[in-house]
Amino acid sequence: MRRKNLIITGKGLNVTNSVEAVVNNTPLQLSQTALRNAARSRRLVEGWIERDEVIYGITTGFGEFKDVKISARELELLQRNLILSHSAGTGKFVPEYITRLMLLFRINSLSLGYSGVRTDLLKRLVLLFNEGVVPLIPSQGSVGSSGDLSPLSHMALTLIGEGSCRYRGEIMSSADAHMILGIEPFRLSAKEGLALINGTQMMSAYLCKSVYDSVILCKLADIAGSLSLEALKGTSKAFDPKIQRVRPHKGQIRTAENLRRLLKGSRIMLSHKDCGKVQDAYSLRCMPQVHGAVRDTVEYCGNVIKTEINSATDNPLIFPETGEHLEGGNFHGEPVALASDFLAIAVSELGNISERRIARLVDGNLSGLPRFLTDKGGLNSGLMIAQYTAASLVSQNKVLCHPGSVDSIPTSANQEDHNSMGSVSALKLYEVVNNVRKIIAIEFLCACQGMDYHRPLKSGAGSEEAYRLFRRAIPHQSRDEITSDLILRSAEAVYDMKFLSAIERKCGGLH
């Protein structure tokens, strides 16, 4: 069946359709509006060049060289030199799907028609995306304004046949990729190099993917928490809607509703209804308040990134409706930097509270379960060290959550004297999210092991389905195994989208 194209208008992207376009290799198609808008702004650029007007980045140098006038015959070389000189990145390469998100976002931004590029440039970028050509981009080197200059320059290298890329599963020179495609490397014209690299697309790509993953993590944290509550013979009283109604944060209300759905009909809870326990520990009782606050933060950051990826973020911007070019600072990454730092702090809290539940599960004095959830303690250490791993990841996240956005180092001889460090914030966020994914997987491993000791009693509708699916992938550990393998298999099981979908079919959609 023919795949449906994603139509690029400059305004239609969101977190979900962006990530899914990359994951599903959805072809892009430029809308007629995008082509028309680009052509209008390009006509203005060409008119200014003909009249030999002095315009930053079009007929002048860049940054501190803003006052150096460039002759008409050197304008193409100016743009090429810009890409070569600004390709100064270092460090590990950006993951392939992040690079493809960067390319998608750059195409979308240029399609708004405020950048003065030719329609041929837009079409070539779309061709590279659709053909699966992935530039190799070092992840370090951006200070977050004038945007992600260095990473985007490495992306532009592939366009002009320089640098390296991944194509058809192989790393090769960009020149070789062009030969295989049967096309010549693209020749940049006036303004086009600057338009390609003045923007926030790397930090935006990391934030977008992190928001997407965090939406799923919030649901899985609720599911893992419900399993831990069942294993620890907790109560669902704290999730009563009356409690949430008198402190009506949206995320708190939604989390409590999720937990009620997951726990509905639990026979385990009925079995200890009159046990005399007054209330549970915070890591169980306060899930609506903690998970809910994270949910609200994810929603806020999702709105920030939706605005950002549908914005014109280069400089100068060209306004065909008034015939103006305006020098400004839309490339400054502060909105993305602050959101990335905020989300890192929030998501780390999912890991913090999850680790506390893990610690309770393995502590026989607190849980009432076999110590370290093993049948023959002493001979077996059980899941003792799984909690160490979770604690290590939590500790690392505390370091990573120091906000990058509070730092600024001036660049370009103090012409660019305040930088957002948004790429630093976004890279840290991405690492925090991946750490929390592992912590949540460890909680599933421990909670399901704890649930085993309450069989044949069944848990709630959603938690029972989660337990059943998890146990289909990872059986009860009756003797010691390589724990890292168990953690890896746990992550593979719970982050398979079929896992979440099956649970939601059983108990209803989760927020």
Instruction: Write out the H or E segment, with its range, that includes residue 30.
Output: strand 28-30
How many Å apart are CA 28 and CA 22, to the nearest integer? 10
Q: What one-letter code names the amino acid at 493?
A: A
How many Å apart are CA 121 and CA 119, to the nearest integer? 5
Q: What pLDDT is attached to residue 275? A: 65
Answer yes or no: are the C-beta atoms of 59 and 325 closer than 8 Å: no
Answer yes or no: are the C-beta atoms of 437 and 390 closer than 8 Å: no
Alpha-carbon distances, residue 466 vs 202, 223, 306, 462 (angstroms)? 36, 7, 32, 6
Q: What pLDDT is attached to residue 491? A: 97
Structure-block tokens of residue 179: 């030969």
- The per-residue pLDDT string of the chain (511 residues; one tens digit each, 9 = 90 and over) reads 457 899 999 999 999 999 999 999 999 999 999 999 999 999 999 998 888 888 887 888 776 777 778 787 888 888 999 999 999 999 999 999 999 999 999 999 999 999 999 999 999 999 999 999 999 999 999 898 888 999 999 999 999 999 999 999 999 999 999 999 999 999 999 999 999 999 999 999 999 999 999 999 999 999 999 999 999 999 999 999 999 999 999 999 999 999 999 999 999 988 777 666 778 999 999 999 999 999 999 999 999 999 999 999 998 999 999 999 999 999 999 999 999 999 999 999 999 999 999 999 999 999 999 999 998 999 999 999 999 999 999 999 999 999 999 988 888 777 777 878 889 999 999 999 999 999 999 999 999 999 999 999 999 999 999 999 999 999 999 999 999 999 999 999 999 999 999 999 999 999 9
Q: What's 136's DSSP letter? A: -
pTM of the model as a whole: 0.96
Handedness of CA 485, 491, 494, 498 (dihedral sign): negative
Structure-block tokens of residue 492: 């593979």
How many Å apart are CA 333 and CA 336, to the nearest integer? 5
Alpha-carbon distances, residue 398 vs 76, 183, 214, 337 (angstroms)? 47, 49, 17, 18
Which is nearest to 315 in space by CA: 114, 141, 122?
Answer: 114
How many Å apart are CA 490 and CA 487, to the nearest integer? 5
Domains belonging to the chain, first-starting first, are 6-199 (1.10.275.10), 206-507 (1.20.200.10)
CA angle 30, 33, 36 (to 5 degrees): 100
Q: What's 165's DSSP letter? A: E
Whether the ω angle into residue 459 lies within 30 degrees of 0, i.e. cis, is no
Whether the ω angle into residue 146 lies within 30 degrees of 0, i.e. cis, is yes
Alpha-carbon distances, residue 18 vs 12, 102, 172, 338 (angstroms)? 10, 10, 26, 21
Q: What pLDDT is attached to residue 217? A: 98
In the Cβ-directed half-sphere of 302, how many Cα atoms lie within 13 Å? 18
How many Å apart are CA 452 and CA 459, to the nearest integer? 11
Q: What pLDDT is attached to residue 276? A: 66
Structure-block tokens of residue 475: 């059986």
How many Å apart are CA 202 and CA 204, to the nearest integer? 5
Handedness of CA 202, 204, 209, 214 (dihedral sign): positive
How many Å apart are CA 369 and CA 380, to the nearest integer? 15
Dihedral pair phi/psi, residue 187, rounded to 5°: -100, 115
Q: Is there a catalytic annotation at residue 56?
A: yes
Within 10 angstroms of residue 402's Cβ, the number of other Cβ atoms is 13
Torsion of CA 162, 168, 171, 175, to 10 degrees: -20
What is the radius of gyration, based on Cα positions, of the chain? 26
Q: What pLDDT is attached to residue 55? A: 83
Q: What pLDDT is attached to residue 51? A: 86
Handedness of CA 21, 333, 421, 297 (dihedral sign): negative
Q: What pLDDT is attached to residue 418? A: 81
Q: Which of 56, 97, 453, 495 is catalytic?
A: 56
